[in-house]
Amino acid sequence: MLSKCANPGCPVPFLYLHQGKLFRMDINSEVPAADAIPAARLLARRIEFFWLCNQCAEMVTLSYRKGVGVTAVPLSESRVSGTQADSAQASNTGTLAASTS
């Protein structure tokens, strides 16, 4: 459940969907299979939602890094390093879908 801005340094509480920017992250992770083959792995897909307040959304975006998780990245850095290339483009509603397989 969303409770506050996803920027760790920001205490702004989440109140309304029309304020700020909502991100939808499709996160794939490997989990052990429950069958007789011990080395078998399955991909588990989970959808998580993150929110940035208006002020933070003007300065940062969210990025998923395998092994690290979702992090706030300055917009200038994400444009230069191609961080947003790892994620799908934001739709008109401000939702970002990231698939990490």
B/e letters for 72-96, b = 16+ CB within 10 Å, e = fewer, are bbeeeebeeeebbeebeeeeeebeb
| Residues in CB range of 57: below 8 A, 6 or more apart | 20, 21, 94
CA–CA distance, 94 with 11 (Å, rounded to integer): 21
pLDDT (tens place) for every residue of the chain, 101 residues total? 789 999 999 999 999 989 999 999 887 766 665 655 555 566 677 889 999 999 999 999 999 888 888 899 999 876 655 544 344 333 333 433 343 33
The token pair that represents 10 in the structure block: 């920001």
The token pair that represents 93 in the structure block: 């509603």
The token pair that represents 77 in the structure block: 């850095």
Confidence (pLDDT) at 90: 37
